[in-house]
Chains A and B, each alone.
Chain A
Amino acid sequence: MRWAGMTEITGGSTLDPATVAVGDGGPTVEVEDLSREDFVRYAGASGDFNPVHYDEPFAREAGYPSVFAQGMFTAGVASRFVVDWVGVGVLTSFSTRFAAQVWPGDSLTVDGSVAAVDRSDDRTTVDIEFSVRSDGEGVVLTGTATSIYPTAKSPMD
C-alpha cells in the first residue's frame, strides 16, 4: 500500500484515531430538494447514461412514475459523509446496498456511527456503518466503510 509506513496520514478525517470509540456518531450530511438536473449532472460526471435516470418518457414507459437517481449518485452523497468523517486515502473499503429509489424533490440525510475499532501496535482500524434516508422513501441506502490510520510508535518501542 502506498500509505504503508506513513505516520502523518489523516486523509482529511475529522475523527481522532486515538480516542474514537464504538457508538461515536459522525457529522450529518444533508442534500436538499434534488432535481432532475442533479441526475443529469451525475450522468455527465460518471458516464452512466442509462436513460431511466433522465429521460422521463422512457422511465414512464418502463413502468416508473418518473426518472430516479442513479444508485451511484446516492452512494456518492454517502461517500461525502464518509470522507468528511473518516477521510479518503485511508479507506480500505466502501460498500453500499441500495434499498429504495431516490426521486426528484427528495431530500437526503446521511448519518452513521462507529461499529468497531481495532488498535494494534502500528495502526488503528475503524469500521463505520451509515445510512442515507430520503424524506420520501425512508432508508434508501445502507453501507459500511473501513479506514486504517497508521499510528506513530512511541520512542520506547
Chain B
Amino acid sequence: MPSYPLADLKARIGETKTTVEDLTVEPGKVQEFAAAIHDPNPLYRDPDTARDAGLDHVPAPPTFLRTWYFQRYRPEGVGIDFGFDLGLDPRHTIHGQQRYEYDQPVFVGDTLSGKTTLADVYQRMGSRGGTMTFAVFETTFTAADGTRVARVENTRIETEGAITDDRDTNDQSAVGRDD
C-alpha cells in the first residue's frame, strides 16, 4: 500500500512537473540502444538507408525516448516516480503499460525536453487479494523549437508482494485500461 492515503494521491491528479531536460538523440546512443534491443536494422545506423526510406535523418527506435531516464537528462529530484512522491514501494512496483503517440518521428540530432502530468491514480483488488495501486503518468516531449514530438503514457502498478506471473497484471483488463 502507498504510504499516503488514496484521497491525498487523487488530489494530486493534474499536477505537472518538468521531468526531462536536453535529452539529446546522439547517433552512438541510438546504435547502442538498437543493439540492446537486438535490432540490427541499418535504418538506425546508416543515413543513406534512412534517406532511401524517405526519412530526412536517421530515426531512433520507437521506444528510444525511454533514455530520458539517464540521470543527465533529469532535473534534480526526478526519479522512477517522475519526481511525484506517491509513496509506492519501489520493490513491488511494476510497469503495467507504456503507450507512445508520435506527432513527429524522433531523429538523431533532436534535443528534447519533457513535462510529466500525473494523469490518474486508482486502486483495485488483485485477483489473489491485496490492493493494487495504479499510477498513470503522461509525459509530453517537445523539440527545441517548441513543437510537440510525442506524448507518452506510463502506467505503474504497486502490488502488495512480488509478482511472478501474469494473474495480477491481467486485472488491468477488468478495469478497462486496455488499449
A99 near B170: Cβ-Cβ < 8 Å: yes
9-residue interface stretch from B6-14, B48-56, B115-123, B128-136 = B48-56
Residues of B within 8 A of A (CB-CB), count? 53
Q: Flag whether B101 is at the interface (Cβ < 8 A).
A: yes
A-B contacts, CB under 8 A, total: 171
Residues of A within 8 A of B (CB-CB), count? 58
Most A-side CB within 10 Å, residue of B35, B56, B91, B92: B91
Point out the residue from B59, B62, B90, B95 that lies within 8 Å of A98, measured CB to CB: B95
Q: Interface of chain A, helix or strand or loop or mixed?
A: mixed
Specify the chain B residue showing the minimal Cβ separation from A66. Answer: B164
**Known A46-B36, A47-B73, A79-B39; 6 more pairs at CB < 8 Å:** A46-B66, A50-B90, A76-B38, A79-B61, A93-B101, A101-B163
A-B contact pairs, 22 of them (CB 8 A): A2-B105, A41-B35, A41-B36, A45-B35, A46-B69, A47-B73, A50-B80, A63-B162, A75-B98, A76-B39, A79-B37, A83-B41, A88-B43, A89-B105, A93-B100, A93-B102, A94-B102, A96-B98, A96-B99, A97-B179, A139-B166, A145-B62
